[in-house]
Amino acid sequence: MPHRVSEADAARIARFRPASGMETPRFAGLASFMRLPVRSPESADGVEIGLVGIPFDGATTNRPGARLGPRGVREASTGTRMVNHASGIAPYALAACADLGDVPVNPIDAAETCRRIEGVFAGLRERGVVSFAVGGDHLVTYPILRALGRGRPLGLVHIDAHSDTDDAQYDGTRLTHGTPFRRAVEDGVLDPRRCVQIGIRGSMDAADERDWACAQGIRIVTMEEAVARGLPEIVAEARAIVGAGPAYLSFDIDALDPAYAPGTGTPEIGGFTAREALYLVRALRGLDLVGADLVEVAPPLDPSGMTALAGGQLAFEILCLLADAVAARRTGTG
């Protein structure tokens, strides 16, 4: 059901609508996420959903390049339009959205970058802004979860090729793109019993690599299980696991098969098609999402630009979910 927006809310939201491709070409002007107006986190008054770039890949253990993900997704997302043809969601009519720029990362210091990320996203939470991050490698999710899950452990839908629940990598390093969800569970900002990971596949470093996550109660759906049972059944289970409480969506672009997204740090064959990825995201409509991210787009590893294109269009789909959730909370219909 479409959400009703009051005249006052509609007038406020209209101030943040992106430039229309029917009025000025989508290839013109400075690139921002979805061609949205640009604000800073400190001047986000009136913004309900803030899109934030995190240009950091200093925690990747394979191929670098995701530091340029926000720039590539911004450019690719300028081709998106106003209304989701499948769901009918018009995100810019439901919520005031803006591009809030990039977190000022320290490219050679993961711990300092995590502190900066947490500070930015904690500030947005205090202002009542729902955050949507574009990375960057997957470590960036950890400080975001610390900011959003403090005092209210979140549920999680995590779409990825990898569980990212390792304890440490490379001589005990605990902050890598393979550890964010373990750190978040340990910090009490994620409720593992309300976490589901979908699309996990590929060879492992050890036979017990996923045992810790399963022991905590995290539901791991391998790619093989997703294929065998079918996506509608998998999504129904995921929705039941997350339940009605506040939740976060994290989408790693390597969930897609490399045929659709080769530009990523740790590609794994046998992944989702682009069409299946669209289905997965759209089927999550109605969850009480309080934040989301899209990570691991590495434009330098894909001269064709198709990975950034997939990232930009999936970002629009995720934005539609967030706008729908914001409108549901505003009207009390969530």
Each residue of 86-106: pLDDT tens digit? 999 999 999 999 999 999 999
CA 38/CA 128 separation, integer angstroms: 18
Residue with tokens 């109605």: 286
CA 313/CA 309 separation, integer angstroms: 6
When the pLDDT of each residue in the chain is averaged and rounded to a whole number, the result is 94
First to last CA, the chain: 11
Return the C-alpha torsion angle 10, 329, 250, 192, nearest 10: 170
pLDDT band at 154 (very low <50, low <70, confident <90, very high): very high
Mean pLDDT of 206-222: 94
More confident residue, 125 or 18: 125
User: Among 83, 136, 85, 79, which Cα is nearest to 113's?
Assistant: 136
Q: Which amino acid is at 273?
A: T
Q: What DSSP element (H or E) covers 87?
A: none
User: Among 170, 196, 180, which Cα is nearest to 137's?
Assistant: 180
pLDDT band at 39 (very low <50, low <70, confident <90, very high): very high
Mean pLDDT of 190-194: 98
- Helices (DSSP H) in 127-198: which residue ranges? 141-149, 180-186
Each residue of 250-286: pLDDT tens digit? 999 999 999 999 999 999 999 999 999 999 999 999 9
User: Among 75, 126, 15, 148, which Cα is nearest to 315's?
Assistant: 75
Mean pLDDT of 233-247: 98
- E-strand ranges in the chain read 49-54, 97-102, 130-135, 154-159, 190-200, 219-222, 247-252, 289-295
257 annotated among ligand-binding-site residues: no
Backbone angles phi and psi of 265, in degrees to 5:
-70, -35
- Lowest mean pLDDT across 19-28, 36-45, 276-285: 19-28
pLDDT band at 29 (very low <50, low <70, confident <90, very high): confident
164 annotated among ligand-binding-site residues: yes
158 annotated among ligand-binding-site residues: no
CA 104/CA 167 separation, integer angstroms: 27
Tally of CB atoms within 10 A around 64: 15
pLDDT, residue 1, reads 60
pLDDT, residue 273, reads 98
pLDDT band at 152 (very low <50, low <70, confident <90, very high): very high
pLDDT, residue 275, reads 98
pLDDT, residue 150, reads 94
> Is pLDDT at 170 greater than 80 in this prediction?
no
How far is CA 333 from its chain centroid? 24
pLDDT, residue 321, reads 98
pTM here is 0.95
Mind spelling out the 3-state secondary structure of 253-317?
HHHECCCCCCCCCCCCCCCECHHHHHHHHHCCCCCCEEEEEEECCCHHHCCCCHHHHHHHHHHHH
- Rounded to 10°, the helix 141-149/110-126 angle is 40
Domains of the chain, CATH where assigned: 7-331 (3.40.800.10)
> Is pLDDT at 334 greater than 70 in this prediction?
no
167 annotated among ligand-binding-site residues: no
pLDDT band at 3 (very low <50, low <70, confident <90, very high): confident
